[in-house]
Structure 1
Amino acid sequence: MAVRCTDLLKLEIFCHLKLLGGKDGLDRIVRCPYVTLTKTIAQWVHGGELMFVSVKDLSCNAAQLLQLFNEGYQKNLSGVVLLVETVKNLFLDDLITAADCFCLPLFQMPYELPLVEITEEISSFIIQDKLRLQFTNELMIDIFSAQKNDQQSLISKAMLYHYDISGAHRIVIISINNLQSIFQENNFLLVKKSLIYMESLQGIVDAICKKRNWNVPGFINGNMLVLLLPATARAEIEKMLMEIYGCIEENLDNPRIFISIGKEYSSLSQMRRSHLEAKRANSFTTGENKHIIFYEDLGFYKVLYEINNQQIMTNFSDEVLLSLKRYDKENHTVLMHTLMIYLYENCNLVKTAKKLYIHRNSLIYRIKKIEEITKESLDNENVCEKYRQALWVEKFLISVNHNSINE
Structure 2
Amino acid sequence: MSTIKANTITLSDLFGVDTKKNNFLQSQRMFISSADAWGALIKDLVLALGIERAKHFLLRYGYQCGKHEAMMLKNMFNWENTKEWIMGGVTMHGLSGRSTSVPIKANINPETKEFDVEGFWHNSYEAKQYLQHFPVHSEPVCYFLEGYASGYCSTSLGKKVVFKEVECIGKGDPHCHFVGKTLDLWGDEISPEEVDYAREDIGDELDRAYKRIERQSEILKRGNLISNQLTQIVLQGKGLDSIAQTLGRSLGYGIVISNKHFETITEYGQAVDYSLKDIVENQHIFNASDRKKINKMITNRITIQLNFLEEHGLLHYPLITPIIVQNNVYGYISIIKNSKEIEELESSLIERAANICALHILNEKTAIDTEQRMKGELLDEIILQNKLDSNIMKKLTFLGYNLNKPHYLFIFRLQNQDYQQTESLDVEKDLITNTLRRYAAIAKENMLVSHSFEQIQALISEDFLSTHNWSPKKFGEILLKEVKKKFPSSQLLIGISNICTQITEIHEGYKQAKKALEITQFNNQKQQVILFSSIGHISILLDARNPKELENYADQILGPIYAYDIEKSTELLKTLYFYMYNECNLHKTARCMNYSIGGMRYRLASLKERFNIDMMNSTTRREVQMALDIYLAFGKLTSIHLD
Tell me which of 217, 239, 244 is aligned to 1:13: 239
Q: Distance in 2 between matches of 1:26 and 1:260?
A: 38
Distance 1:140 1:327, change over 3 A: closer
* Structure 2 match to 1:298: 535
Q: Deviations over 1:244-299 (max 9, x none)?
A: 34433333334344433212334433211011111222344576989444333433
Q: Which structure 2 residues correspond to residues 341-360 of structure 1 after superposition, within 5 A?
A: 341-344=574-577
Q: Which structure 2 residues correspond to residues 4-403 of structure 1 after superposition, within 5 A?
A: 12-15=238-241, 16-17=243-244, 18-19=256-257, 62-69=290-297, 71=299, 90=316, 106-108=332-334, 111=346, 112=349, 114-115=352-353, 116-148=355-387, 150=389, 152-158=390-396, 162-175=399-412, 177-178=414-415, 187-221=418-452, 224-232=455-463, 235-236=466-467, 237-238=470-471, 240-284=475-519, 291-305=528-542, 308-310=543-545, 318=553, 322=556, 339-344=572-577, 370-372=607-609, 374-377=611-614, 386-393=623-630
The one-letter amino acid of 1:155's match is M
Distance 1:70 1:221, change over 3 A: same
SS of the residue corresponding to residue 248 of structure 1 reads: helix
Tell me, yes or no, if the aligned pair for 1:179 and 1:223 is still in contact at 8 Å.
no
Q: Distance in 1 between matches of 2:291 and 2:261?
A: 23
Q: Distance in 2 between matches of 1:147 and 1:66?
A: 56
Q: Deviations over 1:323-364 (max 9, x none)?
A: 7758999x9x969x96434435657799799xxxxxxx9x99
SS of the residue corresponding to residue 310 of structure 1 reads: coil
Larger of the two Rg values belongs to structure? 2
Percent identity, aligned pairs only, is: 10
The one-letter amino acid of 1:259's match is I
Distance 1:352 1:191, change over 3 A: farther
1:213 Cα shift? 0.8
Q: Distance in 2 between matches of 1:380 and 1:206?
A: 55
Q: Distance in 2 between matches of 1:296 and 1:340?
A: 23
1:138 Cα shift? 1.9
1:67 Cα shift? 1.7
Q: Distance in 1 between matches of 2:293 and 2:594?
A: 62
Q: Distance in 1 between matches of 2:500 and 2:364?
A: 35
Distance 1:343 1:140, change over 3 A: same
Q: Distance in 2 between matches of 1:215 and 1:26?
A: 27
1:321 Cα shift? 6.2
The one-letter amino acid of 2:364's match is F
Q: Distance in 2 between matches of 1:244 and 1:26?
A: 27
Q: Distance in 2 between matches of 1:14 and 1:315?
A: 58
1:174 Cα shift? 4.7
Distance 1:344 1:127, change over 3 A: same
Distance 1:325 1:176, change over 3 A: closer
Q: Distance in 1 between matches of 2:561 and 2:533?
A: 37
Identify which of structures 1 and 2 has the higher relative contact order when contacts are C-alpha pairs closer than 8 Å and 6+ apart: 1
Tell me, yes or no, if the aligned pair for 1:146 and 1:268 is still in contact at 8 Å.
no
Q: Distance in 1 between matches of 2:434 and 2:605?
A: 57
Count of residue correspondences? 322
* Structure 2 match to 1:43: none
Tell me, yes or no, if the aligned pair for 1:176 and 1:255 is still in contact at 8 Å.
no
1:189 Cα shift? 3.3
Tell me, yes or no, if the aligned pair for 1:84 and 1:108 is still in contact at 8 Å.
no
1:126 Cα shift? 2.6
1:173 Cα shift? 2.5
Q: Distance in 1 between matches of 2:238 and 2:437?
A: 22
Computed over aligned residues only, the root mean square deviation of the Cα atoms, in angstroms, reads 5.3
The one-letter amino acid of 1:393's match is I
Distance 1:176 1:328, change over 3 A: closer
TM-score by length of 1: 0.58
Tell me, yes or no, if the aligned pair for 1:170 and 1:265 is still in contact at 8 Å.
yes
SS of the residue corresponding to residue 164 of structure 1 reads: coil
SS of the residue corresponding to residue 387 of structure 1 reads: helix
Q: Distance in 2 between matches of 1:209 and 1:367?
A: 53
TM-score by length of 2: 0.39
Distance 1:140 1:296, change over 3 A: same
Distance 1:90 1:338, change over 3 A: same
Distance 1:297 1:271, change over 3 A: same
Structure 1 portions without partners, runs of 5+:
1-7, 28-59, 73-79, 96-103, 181-186, 354-360, 400-407
